[in-house]
Amino acid sequence: MTPAVATVVDQGVSRLMIMEFQVCRRGRQARWVVTLGETVYGAYLDKEQALLDAVDAARDALAAGHQAQVWLRDRASADRVF
């Protein structure tokens, strides 16, 4: 599977590829999920477990030479946590 990335473009030249892991609530049961682009990376019963898995995945991406971030998204805001 090819990882989803956000691309920062400066004057038409791609400068930086960032893997963005997003932690948010989704679905009828309002489970916590980690997404990477449009793909659900994992579903969790609580926010803490979702955050831990997202940070672990971001650290693995960094170790593989990719740029990575973890974002916590809720109804009112989005905060970068890693």
pLDDT in tens, 20-62: 999 999 887 889 999 998 999 999 999 999 999 999 999 999 9
pLDDT confidence of residue 9? 39
Domain annotation covers residue 70: yes
pLDDT band for position 78 (cuts 50, 70, 90):
confident
Q: If DSSP codes are grouped into helix, strand and coil, which group holds residue 73?
A: strand
pLDDT confidence of residue 10? 44
Provide the pairing of β-strand 67-73 with 13-26: parallel
Residue 50's CB is within 10 A of a number of other CB atoms, namely 25
The boundaries of the domain holding residue 54 are 6-80
Number of domains comprising the chain: 1
pLDDT band for position 76 (cuts 50, 70, 90):
confident
Domain annotation covers residue 43: yes
Classify residue 13 by burial, with Cβ atoms within 10 Å: 0-12, 13-18, 19+.
exposed
